[in-house]
Each structure stands twice: as C-alpha cells, then as structure tokens.
Amino acid sequence: MNKLCSIREAIRTLQDGEMVALGGNTLNRAPMEAVLEIIRQGKRELRLVKTAGGLDVDLLSLGDCLASVDAGFISLETEYGLAQHYRRAVQGGRVKANEHACYTVISALRAGAYGIPFMPVRGLQISDLRRVNDYFADVTDPFSGEKLAAVRALRPDTAIIHAQRADAAGNALIDGPKYDDILMTRAARRVIVTAETIVEDGWFSRNEVKADVPHFMVSHVVRCRLGAFPGSCYGVCEPDGAMIRKYLGLESAEQLRDMIGEGAGA
C-alpha cells in the first residue's frame, strides 16, 4: 500500500488535543519540517512527549501549539543556551511542564508499548519530581514487598519521526543514533515518518539491514529532504547556527509564522 503524501496532508490528520511524541534528541534528527507544518496549520492544545527536546519544543511553544510537555530535558545545548520560548510559556501558565527524568519518559513509553498501565522504576525514591508530576506514584513489589516508584504509561496518539530512508509502504530505516524513536513507534497508536530519501519497492527485502519501523505501524510517509533542518541529521547535515539563532530571536507567534511561510506542501 502506497502511503506517500505531502507534509501538509500528513499533519492535517493531527487533531487538536492529541498526545504527540517527537523523535530525535535535542538538535539531532528532530522532525523539524513536521514541527513547522504543525505551526503553519495552527494545531492547538497538543500534549507533547519528548525525552530530550530542543528547538522543536521551543518553536511549538512560541507557536501556541502546546498544552503540556512530558520531557526529561529541554534545552538548546551549550552553544545556544536555554529554550527561552518554552520557559516563558511554562512560567506564564500557557504550557504545563510534566517534568521527568529522561529514563522515566522511556519507562512510561515502554509501559505504553507493552500495553500496561505503569512501569515500576527503582529511582525517584527521594526526588522533587515526585512533588510536581502526578505521573509518579508508589507501588509495592507483590513478591518481595519492596517499595518502588512507578510512572504512568504514555501512549501517544501519534509519533512523528524523521528517518534517512523509507519506502512508499512505510518501512523506515534510521542511520546513526536511534535514540528512543523506535520505542515511540511501538507505544503510539499511529506513526508519521518523514524521510530524507524514498527508496524503491523491494529495497528492504534486498538489503541485509532491515527496517527499524515496519510498514504496518506507519500511517503516512513524507519525503522531506533536510527534514531535520536547522538541526542535524546523521550523514546528511550539521546544525545551522545562524538559522537557529534567527529562530531564537523571534518574539511572537506572528513573527514565527511570517518566517516559516506557507511551506512546500509536498
């Protein structure tokens, strides 16, 4: 089944208020073209899941697209400083920050992938995170009686990841670090893949390296050359510092929309 479509068509399927997981890590291989299209289409009240976010979370905050963020870390790495648009949105009460440790986001996604309501974790016995995030609770090991912490499952409505290769059916391959993208695709109810290259039918069956994401998990495939820009994508591009700083210098959602324009839509 051919699942190729435009980025506009894929993002149009997102509903306001959905829980959306974004792949990549900080400035590395985030699905930025999808993020920009979310802003162009004016999606609202999204509940974002991201283990370690950066410019993607920052711009979605500036674009007034978010209701909440479940994440372990949001920053723009040492060179670019803090994610100030996100920080202002949280401090102003426009975005609720469900702060995690990175591994509790991963644990919550594992619970979602396994179809269970929570995942026990050995850490967080003494942590301020317990006071500010109602995703955590205490559980007792029924076999030993040991007290453990638990994190509520995260089951995103949609996961959006960027890959180096995909075919029209939805099989996708990530080169380099995979971060928690694959886990997100297992936890989510549906998956949108943006890809640098669309390979021909049969490419995966002929190659020893198989797909990280199988076609039956994917609802839409979009060819997005430089789809992680202005961030990096392993084997494709490095971060564009000038463009990142230009985004960070914006002061309003209107300025952001003026900057990103209408997009290619294809």
User: What does the pLDDT look like over 119-148, one tens digit per residue?
Assistant: 999 888 777 777 778 889 999 999 999 999
Q: Which helix (H) or strand (E) holds 180?
A: none
Q: What is the pLDDT of residue 265?
A: 47
Tell if the pTM clears 0.85, that is, is over it: yes
**Looking at the domain assignment, is residue 134 inside a domain?**
no
**Looking at the domain assignment, is residue 33 inside a domain?**
yes
User: CATH code at 70?
Assistant: 3.40.1080.10
**Looking at the domain assignment, is residue 123 inside a domain?**
no
Average pLDDT rounded to a whole number, residues 84-93: 96
What are the DSSP E strand ranges found in the chain? 19-22, 46-53, 66-74, 96-99, 118-121, 136-140, 147-152, 158-167, 172-173, 190-199, 218-223
Q: What is the pLDDT of residue 23?
A: 98
Q: Is the dihedral of CA 241, 246, 252, 253 positive or negative?
A: negative
Q: For the segment 173-220, what is each residue's pLDDT rounded down to a tens digit?
A: 999 999 999 999 999 999 999 999 999 999 999 998 899 999 999 999
Residue 218: domain span: 7-112+156-260
Average pLDDT rounded to a whole number, residues 156-183: 98
- Name the residue among 51, 32, 33 with its Cα closest to residue 179: 51
Q: What is the pLDDT of residue 266?
A: 41
**Looking at the domain assignment, is residue 127 inside a domain?**
no
Average pLDDT rounded to a whole number, residues 239-248: 95
| Domain count for the chain | 1
**Looking at the domain assignment, is residue 139 inside a domain?**
no
Q: What is the pLDDT of residue 124?
A: 80
Q: What is the pLDDT of residue 30?
A: 98
Query: Under 8 Å CB-to-CB from 6, ≥6 apart: which residues?
Result: 222, 264, 265, 266
Q: Please give the Cα distance from 55 to 58 (Å, whole number).
A: 5
Average pLDDT rounded to a whole number, residues 87-97: 97
Q: Please give the Cα distance from 37 to 59 (Å, whole number).
A: 11
**Looking at the domain assignment, is residue 86 inside a domain?**
yes
Q: Please give the Cα distance from 241 to 74 (Å, whole number).
A: 18
* Location of structure tokens 């609720």: 96
Q: What is the pLDDT of residue 264?
A: 54
Q: What value, to the nearest 5°, has the Cα angle with vertex 40 and ends 259 and 191?
A: 130
